[in-house]
C-alpha cells in the first residue's frame, strides 16, 4: 500500500493560496466555447522532445508518439526541443513559433494567465474523463475565475538525494540518512575523507543555485517571499538564509567536502551523482532520470526527507503545468490535451495501459514503482500500484521515510521567482569560491535588487 501523508496534495493547495492566488472563486459557470471535431485531421507540436545526446529518452518519446498516432490516426505529433525559457517565450508567442503545448513551472503560470498567454481549456477539460479524475486541489492551481488554463502534469517536493554505495564505502549506514543539516555536513566530511568523492554540493548556475538555496532557507525557518495586502515582499536577508549559506561555507572551507568545480548546473550535478562522484545533494526525487538517462544503478539511490534546522518550515514544492498555446484553434487544443492525457496521466486510470507500460518498462530494465508524488488521490494511486505490482522492480521499502514524511510542503515564490533565484546564484558561487565572502552584504544587496524588480512590475 502507498503510505503517504497529505503533503502530496498540499503542493497545489499552497500554490493556490500563496498570496497572489491562481485559483478564482467565481461561481459563474464559464461560457461554453467552440466544440472540437474528434475526427478532424490536425497536427500538434510538442515541446521538450529529448535531444540526440539522450538516446534512451528520445527512443521512449518516439515510441510513445507512434503509439499515440496509432490510437488517434487523425492526429500527427511533431516533437521539438523547445523548452520554456522566460527570457524568450514571449517572442515565440508573438512570432507564432511556440509549440502547441509544453511544460511551464508553477511559478510562471499566473503571469501567463494574466497576460492572456495561456489557452482557456475549460470546456475540453470538463469533457475529459481523465482530467475529471485528478485531485481537485491540483485543478485549483490552474484555475482562475472558474476557468482552467492548464494541466498539472508533475509535482515534486525537495528531498535529500544520497548515494547509498558511497555511504557504505565511507562506513555510514545507508538506511540511516541524516535528518538535519549538521548530520549532512558530518556525513559529507566523512565521505570526502574516506572516499575522495564530493560529500555534498548543489548547482550554482542557471537559477538552480538560487532555487535550491531557497529550499534550504525554508528548511532553516524562513520563506523567501511573502504577500501582504496584495503586495509581494522579498525576504532573503534573513537568519535562515544566512544559516543556509554558512552551511555551504563550512562544507567548502572547513570540511573540504564540496568538490572542486563551483560552476555547475542541474544536469552537471545529476551526471556526477549518477556517476558516483557526488554523495549528497538536494532535488526532487530524480530516480527515473538518473537510472534511465544517466546509467545509475537504482540500488545506489537514496531518497530521504529534506533535512531540517531547528526552526525548519518543511520543504519546498512545485511542479510542472502543461501549458496550451492560446493561438491554437479548438481542434489543435483538443489534440494537445489528448496527448497530455496519453503521455502523462492515462496510466493512473486505465488498468490495461498501466499494466502494459509497467511491463514494457520492466522488460527494458527501466524503474517501475520509483518514489514520486502522485497527481491522483491516495486511493487511486494504491489502485494503480496494485495493477502494476507484478512489474515493480524498485524496492520501495528503502524509501519509507520519504514516502511517509509529514513535512509541510511550501510553495515556490509566487512573484518573479526566476529573478529571485537568479539573484541568489552568484551568492552561492561567492560563498563557495571566496572564504571571506561577506554574506550579510551579499544578501542585503540581493534583497534590494529583487524587491526593486518586483516593485517595477
Asked if residue 368 lies in contact with residue 388, where contact means CB atoms within 8 angstroms, the answer is yes
What is the average pLDDT score of the chain? Answer: 89
Q: Given this chain, do its domains 7-155+318-398 and 157-316+406-455 carry the same CATH topology?
A: yes
Mean pLDDT lowest among 129-143, 214-228, 385-399, 439-453: 129-143
d(CA 319, CA 139): 13
Q: 3.40.190.10, 4.10.520.10, 3.40.50.9100, 3.40.47.10: which CATH number matches 7-155+318-398?
A: 3.40.190.10
CA distances from 133 to 12, 142, 380, 385 (A): 15, 15, 9, 17
Model confidence pLDDT, tens digit, residues 230-255: 788 999 999 999 999 999 999 999 99
Mean pLDDT lowest among 85-94, 125-134, 230-239, 389-398: 125-134
Q: Is the pLDDT of residue 66 over 60?
A: yes
Vertex 236 angle, CA 233 and 242, to 5°:
155
Model confidence pLDDT, tens digit, residues 121-157: 999 999 998 887 787 767 777 888 899 999 999 888 8
Model confidence pLDDT, tens digit, residues 252-299: 999 999 999 999 999 999 999 999 999 999 998 899 899 988 999 999
Q: Where exactly are the structural domains of the chain? A: 7-155+318-398, 157-316+406-455
pLDDT of residue 176: 97
d(CA 251, CA 245): 10
Model confidence pLDDT, tens digit, residues 167-200: 999 999 999 999 999 999 999 999 999 999 999 9
Class of domain 157-316+406-455: alpha beta
d(CA 165, CA 136): 40
Q: Is the pLDDT of residue 87 over 90?
A: no
pLDDT of residue 108: 83
Amino acid at each position: 500500500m502507498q503510505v503517504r501523508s497529505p503533503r502530496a496534495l498540499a503542493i497545489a493547495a499552497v500554490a493556490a493560496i500563496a498570496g497572489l492566488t491562481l485559483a478564482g472563486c467565481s461561481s459563474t459557470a464559464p461560457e461554453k466555447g467552440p466544440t472540437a471535431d474528434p475526427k478532424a485531421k490536425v497536427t500538434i507540436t510538442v515541446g521538450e522532445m529529448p535531444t540526440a545526446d539522450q538516446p534512451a529518452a528520445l527512443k521512449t518519446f518516439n515510441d510513445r508518439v507512434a503509439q499515440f498516432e496509432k490510437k488517434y490516426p487523425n492526429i500527427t505529433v511533431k516533437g521539438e526541443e523547445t523548452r520554456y525559457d522566460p527570457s524568450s517565450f514571449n517572442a515565440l508567442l508573438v512570432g507564432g513559433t511556440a509549440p502547441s503545448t509544453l511544460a511551464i513551472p508553477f511559478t510562471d503560470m499566473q503571469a501567463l494567465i494574466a497576460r492572456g498567454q495561456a489557452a482557456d481549456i475549460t470546456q475540453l477539460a470538463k469533457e475529459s474523463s481523465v482530467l475529471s479524475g485528478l485531485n481537485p486541489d491540483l485543478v485549483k492551481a490552474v484555475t482562475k475565475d472558474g476557468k482552467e488554463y492548464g494541466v498539472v502534469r508533475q509535482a515534486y517536493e525537495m528531498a535529500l538525494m544520497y548515494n547509498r554505495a558511497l555511504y557504505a564505502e565511507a562506513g555510514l549506514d545507508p538506511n540511516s540518512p541524516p535528518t538535519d543539516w549538521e548530520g549532512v555536513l558530518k556525513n559529507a566530511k566523512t565521505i570526502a575523507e574516506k572516499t575522495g568523492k564530493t560529500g555534498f554540493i548543489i548547482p550554482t548556475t542557471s537559477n538552480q543555485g538560487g532555487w535550491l538555496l531557497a529550499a534550504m532557507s525554508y528548511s532553516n525557518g524562513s520563506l523567501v517571499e511573502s504577500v501582504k495586502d496584495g503586495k509581494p515582499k522579498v525576504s532573503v536577508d534573513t537568519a535562515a538564509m544566512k544559516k543556509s549559506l554558512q552551511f555551504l561555507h563550512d562544507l567548502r572551507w572547513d570540511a573540504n567536502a564540496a568538490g572542486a568545480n563551483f560552476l555547475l548546473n542541474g544536469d552537471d550535478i545529476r551526471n556526477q551523482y549518477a556517476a558516483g562522484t557526488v554523495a549528497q545533494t538536494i532535488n526532487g526525487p530524480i530516480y527515473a532520470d538518473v537510472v534511465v538517462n544517466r546509467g545509475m544503478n537504482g540500488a545506489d539511490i537514496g531518497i530521504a526527507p529534506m533535512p531540517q534546522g531547528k526552526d525548519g518550515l518543511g520543504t519546498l514544492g512545485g511542479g510542472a503545468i502543461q501549458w496550451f498555446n492560446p493561438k491554437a484553434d479548438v481542434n489543435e487544443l483538443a489534440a494537445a490535451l489528448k496527448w497530455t492525457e496519453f503521455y502523462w496521466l492515462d496510466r493512473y486510470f486505465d488498468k490495461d495501459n498501466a499494466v502494459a507500460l509497467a511491463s514494457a518498462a520492466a522488460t527494458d530494465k527501466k524503474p517501475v514503482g520509483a518514489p514520486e508524488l502522485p497527481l491522483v488521490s491516495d486511493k487511486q494511486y494504491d489502485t494503480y500500484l496494485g495493477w502494476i505490482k507484478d512489474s515493480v522492480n524498485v524496492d520501495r521499502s528503502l524509501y519509507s521515510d520519504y514516502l511517509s514524511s509529514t513535512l509541510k510542503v511550501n510553495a515556490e515564490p509566487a512573484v518573479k521567482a526566476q529573478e529571485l533565484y537568479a539573484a541568489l546564484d552568484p551568492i552561492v558561487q561567492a560563498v563557495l569560491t571566496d572564504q571571506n565572502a561577506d554574506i550579510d552584504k551579499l544578501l542585503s544587496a540581493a534583497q534590494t535588487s529583487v524587491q526593486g524588480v518586483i516593485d517595477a512590475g
